[in-house]
Structure 1
């Protein structure tokens, strides 16, 4: 199943989005809003449009055309009731020389779940049991502040952010989405029953530490990578700390309440990293996230990061206590509201 998205670019402020399907029988099942206002007196560079991870198939001074398959471009597939929904972001990536600000517009294709079989778009079968881990390489490491290279130190002041990157090298696999399923901090390189633990990510992808800190998932650059900014916590101060994680590689289009990356935003609650529109998949983060499947799918890998050390000095302690105090004020104001 192929779709064509045409972006009509007009000179003085309007971009019109029109969506067509290659299979005429299901054109009417697509639901896409068609107008985007750009408040600028300047002409938009058509080469700077992007649909998910895909660049234009062709463009002219007045028109941008994407001819793509729903399996490509990082389309997300969501099953809701009687519908299959495919979502993506149409983005204008502003260049340094551009006078038009970056903007994005959500594209949604909606299908009835019970249509004739040959009308369904092809989707990647997430049952990976025919592949094994031999041609996948997982990686987890400490990064510098902007995630452009490895960290220069493994020592982090209390309250600072620890940049962590995890990735999966896909090789011959179809595109995969990398997720943290569980992460805990420990003072031992191997988890034992007597190990002292600090939970970071639990409940199938819920960054529980973000409820009490500035920890967060960073916006994705690639589906096969995940960046985590973890606030250095008050656990085993001055001692060696190891971070144990279970990673899972998954089909990018098949998010559910057990395959997700959720973090907590102080003013908004739980938010789904890969598509905030469907943050209801994170609702179980405060209870228990369970799958209806008889067995859990996906390719898993256990990774250990460390040792690293969380240090404390007068300045870092002041900063940490200030953040704790501000969080308590915010919580009190929220309850009053």
Structure 2
């Protein structure tokens, strides 16, 4: 029995790995360039269930999530596994997140944001890869025995990195900044938050990701979902990798909307006056991490959108440090007085949409 169980596990690992590899989908192609060198953004390819019916593990990749579909007859031996025995990641989750749910009479599904459930991110010159494992952990029978061994099937999503091509023959192709969304979505599954690099005049999006010390980054955070809402930036952190928890890291916005980088000597960092309720514009002095040779940088911001009628408060604000005092771009500077201490209170999240967005890589050079 044990030999048969091990053999079945080995077959699953091999067939599952190949099945998962076949299920990888490329969602983004490079931008289209016309004869005059003008760029057109390409739409994501439509995701379809065009998988081999013989595979017991299938993967669908969207712009923001990984969807893993598992046959109940996982080992193809007639023994149906239960959804409680399947989860995404190497460690068993403590709650319902990352676990399988029924999707019909003979299939289960797990849908998770690309950065959740212990997913690992790998970036190469031409692609971005989110990899994980589907874990089968058999439950014990009533006598504390099991007839199936644990298994782990590799699953991954691959995305092509996009590039910008200049119409000038003397210009080198530059890499377009990539934006990874891990945020609230509308009923159609589209992201409702964005973070974009803007040109110096703020009238158009900037597709170059090359900057020098002394430059200003022009960033625009927006709520793009349905209904009228007011956008706030709770926090922003700069890191050398897309992992916002990596070290070194520098929080330049924290404490529910306090732009702490504006307190630095000779800083030009500030929130610009709000032009639309659903967006905030921020200019940020370019910087490098001291004693680190890598010049790539990623910016991750925690965003939220409140009902438009809500007024500024200690947790809903956009505060600049100007002339030795905190000022709120929406008025009512009193809500910024907590920026030098703690602004945390219990938020009313039932009417609030929250999410995060990561922008990068930005390539920073020491001097021109």
In the superposition, the TM-score normalised over structure 1's length comes to: 0.49
Q: Which structure would you say has the larger Rg?
A: 2
Structure having the larger proportion of residues in helix: 1
